[in-house]
Amino acid sequence: MSDQEVKAIQVLMASYLAAWHATDMERWAEHFTQDSDFITWRGIWWKTRDENFDAHKDIPASIAEQMKNYQLSVEQIALLSPTVALVHARWHWPDFVEGGHPPEDRQGLLTMVVVKGDDHWRIRATHNGRVEASD
């Protein structure tokens, strides 16, 4: 994989994270192809960018305030073809509070297929899996 392609995918992921931190879900959704699949850690499967956006656009204020705490680190990028890459990223959301429950450190792994079209990399598929917090 060329350094240029790795850098371009890293830029995609940094922009994805910046949009998430800004709670700019329209900009966040633009990182996905129109026909993208997104499987949540709860096992919900959204089959288009519009479904994914619709599910994320009305984030409760209590969650939106915490989105800046979400951390994402790209662990691996593997080029599968000149226009398809596999990305594995680790996420950590410390002190996450939901629905009156005590804070918890949430962690997980993202497996993403990213594709290049029109000289831009976009996310074609994401599987978000939670993992137990490590001590």
Per residue in 14-62, pLDDT (tens digit) is: 999 999 999 999 999 999 999 999 999 999 999 999 999 999 998 888 8
Give the pair of three-digit tokens for residue 48.
Answer: 């288009």
3-class SS of residue 135: coil
pLDDT at 24: 96
Contacts of 96 (CB under 8 A, 6+ apart): 66, 69, 103, 104, 105, 106
Domains of the chain: 3-131 (3.10.450.50)
pLDDT at 3: 87
Structure confidence at residue 134 as a pLDDT band (50, 70, 90): low
pLDDT at 100: 85
- pLDDT higher than 60, residue 5: yes
